[in-house]
Structure 1
Amino acid sequence: MPGKSYDDLLSLQSGVIARRQLTALGVPPHELERLLRRRDLVRVHDGVFINHTGTPTWLQRAWIGVLIAWPAALAGDSALRAADGPGKAGRDDALVHIAVSRDRKVLLPPGYRLHRTPRLHPKVSWNTSPPRVRVEEALVDVASGAVDDFAAISVLADAIQARRTTPERIRDRLDARPRLPRRDFLRGVLTDLHLGTCSVLEHGYLTRVEQPHGLPTARRQLRDSATGGPIYRDVAYVDFDQLVEIDGRLWHDNASTRDADLDRDLDAAVDRLNTVRVGWGQVFQRPCATAARIAALLQARGWTGAITRCPDCPSGLPLAV
């Protein structure tokens, strides 16, 4: 009967084990057959077994894929899923992403996606369970392939907020991938996240909200020292007493920063200026709807124009109040 190291390996690998590992442990073929007859092990793929007869968990599916393709590691969203652990909402667990060296030919069963990866070995944390592509590499892969810019931003911001990595470390890996899709945009976002500025977001407001929809041209970074020290207003429609503050924070900030924002808004109200705040979702995920709302605010304050429809505007978007 297999010794203690057999149980240790099953525990380490969430109840999944490969034939080659059993052979290395000294388990003879007839003993493996006996384990299969007794249902102590169940074959889930040629050469890969699990220690129960039920439906494999996600972690067990991950181990199965890694062992089928060995040497291999979790890639992309699966690497991030393993790093985050169970319980995070919104995960798509239908596919398990597996990375192998670029020159290998591996056939995976349904439910897995193969990623042939150049220079795989230094990109992987081989001591994790299961082995997985390092967080920074996985973030770069997932963000560059995200369905839209807002999804890409969220991937990066969530990891940084959770303190799994830093903008600088992600940027280092990004700089090593010169042909990556969305690379310049992601680099700008990482710079913003590092510096706490909103330059990418401010530019996005100009090019996705204001200009394509024919809104009046605002003044930017308008200096206002009426209340004492200088304050810079992000976007000011001065003819209509309307301010738009660009809020680039993707998570709750500390109390003192929030308090300073409220003071800015109060100062604007004292000056008879209306203030609204927009963030990444309003600019990158819903720019047309944001433009319609800003237009309504400006029309209420005397703007006689109407927004124009950009190529991405939904047909039902109201163009005037």
Structure 2
Amino acid sequence: MARAARPGWRFIRGERPSIGEPPRTNVEITVLDLCAEADEDEMAALLADAVSQRKTTPKRLLAELSGRPRQRNRGVLRDVLGDVSRGAHSALERRYLVQVERAHHLPTAVRQQQALRSYRSDCWYDEYRLLVELDSKLHHSGGAAFRDMNRDNEHALLGLTTLRFGWRDVTGVGACHTARIVAQFLMTNGWEGPLQPCPHCRLVPDSEARQIGHR
């Protein structure tokens, strides 16, 4: 019997092992079922939420995935899970990792580590005294914005610079602009480079590309 759609609910037909009463699937099964119907950003959000909230682990999710040879988008799911296990704890953070850092051959930041005991940073380029924070509009408003400001100020007292980016800065040509900003700071602090162009970089003005390349 078909079930009518309800806001906040998703019905998936299938046979799954269950736990508890009423019967329900465990976290790993539920997350992978939802990922089967998700795009890449939605996968990253689902996996990152489950792992960062300590509801499961990448190891347990991989174990469940290994028993699903017909899982939709299995290869992409494995790649996304690998990035989540490396510390990309949101879809936005993964976009930065893939489209800014990795696509342009920037140094690999340490993720989810503390430059100050009270604060955990999204990306920390320790050798170059740089922190990168990835903020959605919802997160970076109200009281959160003041907490971020205080954190940035305290990091500045330690000689650490914080750069903040949002969604527009990590997608398409925006990712290329962001890569150039990060590369320029890293080069100022000793990184030898070079910044590698990605397919979108041809859309960035030549003057901007030359500015980075001549540092």
Q: TM-score range by the shorter chain?
A: 0.5 to 0.7
Shift of 1:179: 6.1
User: Structure 1 vs Structure 2: percent identity of aligned residues?
Assistant: 29
Question: Secondary structure at the residue paired with 2:198?
Answer: coil
Decide which of 99, 117, 120 is 1:208's aligned counterpart.
99
Matching residue's letter, 1:264:
R
Whole-Å separation in 1 of the counterparts to 2:147 and 2:34: 39
Partner of 1:302: 190
Contact map agreement 1:250 1:280 (CA 8 A) in 2: no
Whole-Å separation in 2 of the counterparts to 1:244 and 1:183: 25
Whole-Å separation in 1 of the counterparts to 2:184 and 2:43: 34
Relative contact order (alpha carbons < 8 A, sep ≥ 6): 1 or 2 greater? 2
Alignment of 1:63-142 (within 5 A): 122-123=4-5
Q: For residues 81-111 of structure 1, what are the alpha-carbon distances to aligned partners after superposition, in whole Å with 9 as ceiling and x for unaligned?
A: xxxxxxxxxxxxxxxxxxxxxxxxxxxxxxx
Whole-Å separation in 2 of the counterparts to 1:193 and 1:224: 23
TM-score, normalised relative to structure 2: 0.58
Partner of 1:185: 41
Shift of 1:251: 6.2
Shift of 1:281: 1.7
Contact map agreement 2:49 2:90 (CA 8 A) in 1: no
Higher-Rg member (1/2):
1
Shift of 1:177: 7.8
Matching residue's letter, 1:202:
E
Q: 1:252 to 1:232 in 2, by over 3 A?
A: closer
Question: Secondary structure at the residue paired with 2:168?
Answer: helix
Question: Secondary structure at the residue paired with 2:200?
Answer: coil
Partner of 1:72: none
Whole-Å separation in 2 of the counterparts to 1:201 and 1:192: 10
Shift of 1:261: 0.7
TM-score, normalised relative to structure 1: 0.40
Aligned residues: 153
Partner of 1:130: none
For structure 2, the residue ranges without an aligned partner over 5 or more in a row are: 13-29, 54-87
Shift of 1:184: 5.0
Partner of 1:220: 111
Contact map agreement 2:44 2:94 (CA 8 A) in 1: no
Q: 1:243 to 1:208 in 2, by over 3 A?
A: same
Partner of 1:244: 132
Q: 1:314 to 1:306 in 2, by over 3 A?
A: same
Partner of 2:151: 264
Q: 1:178 to 1:224 in 2, by over 3 A?
A: closer
Partner of 2:63: none
Matching residue's letter, 2:162:
T
